[in-house]
Amino acid sequence: MRLLVVEDEKAMAAGLRSGLEAEGFTVDVAADGIDGLWLARERSYDVIVLDLMLPGLDGHTVCRELRAARIWTPVLVLTARDDERDEVGALDIGADDYLTKPFSYAVLLARLRSLLRRGVPERPAVLEAGDLRLDPATKQVWRGSTVVALTARELALLEFLMRHRGQVVSKRQVLDHVWGDDFEGDPNIVEVYIRHLRNKLDRPFHRDTIRTVRGAGYRIELDGD
């Protein structure tokens, strides 16, 4: 099994290489994000062990670039950060697991074995409605051949609608799934974000994909017409 370790702390990188090679792994080491991204693109690995705080390119950027390049090698993030937002952010951009430094070497090996048992995940299906497409893995949206930039909340709303395309979803369902069931703000925020999506995805392209069903909710048309 071949692993890539992207870690700029020399002692940590050397310790990981020594320990993992003793376990029978073949290990490549990159000391910064730029080299790590290059190696991950040029060679085939079974797992990538990736630090977040790296020179050149940070770990978030490396992971995001890999997924954008359709490289689905499992990624285990190692970091000294213990902020929940960092963990959520890493998983949201495509990391498969997360381990905070300092960590138990036995736990690291267990996490690696778990990822190896899963193997390389299949590429997530691109959601489509006519010429509107959303890739859940890379968080990219296209109207025809045009890439459309959306905010994180707009992406979450569009993904929810597209996963239920052809169905009517209520405002309450949207709030629960996109904002969370503990949301206590103004429920009209849904209408605001629906308008944002229409202004970015429908009106500039003369489409009417995102429909309001009076008294019931919203629906993405299957054919995009």
Distance CA 31, CA 6 (A): 6
- DSSP bridge partners of 30: 6
Opening angle at CA 71, ends 69 and 77, nearest 5 = 110
Asked if 56 contacts 30 with a C-beta cutoff of 8 angstroms, the reply is no
Pairing of strands 26-30, 2-6: parallel
Dig out the tokens for 160 from the structure.
Answer: 């929810």
pLDDT on residue 224: 45
Distances (CA, A) of 19 to 51, 106, 109, 179, 202: 17, 11, 10, 43, 54
pTM of the model: 0.60
pLDDT on residue 123: 63
pLDDT on residue 196: 96
Q: Quote the percentage of the chain above a pLDDT of 70.
A: 92
219, pLDDT greater than 70:
yes
pLDDT on residue 120: 64
Please give the DSSP secondary-structure letter assigned to residue 4: E
- DSSP bridge partners of 210: 220
Picking from 42, 60, 46, the residue whose alpha carbon sits closest to that of residue 5 is 46
pLDDT on residue 121: 63
Convert the pLDDT of each residue in 159-192 to its tens digit: 889 988 888 999 988 888 888 767 778 888 999 9
The better pLDDT of the pair 94, 157 is held by 157
Convert the pLDDT of each residue in 79-105 to its tens digit: 876 666 667 767 777 888 988 888 888
Picking from 186, 160, 185, the residue whose alpha carbon sits closest to that of residue 173 is 160
At 38, the amino acid letter reads: W
Please give the DSSP secondary-structure letter assigned to residue 13: H
225, pLDDT greater than 50:
no
Distance CA 99, CA 112 (A): 11
Picking from 34, 57, 41, 59, the residue whose alpha carbon sits closest to that of residue 49 is 59
Reported confidence tier of residue 140, pLDDT bands at 50, 70, 90: confident
Dig out the tokens for 98 from the structure.
Answer: 């997360």
pLDDT on residue 44: 86
At 133, the amino acid letter reads: R
Asked if 202 contacts 208 with a C-beta cutoff of 8 angstroms, the reply is yes
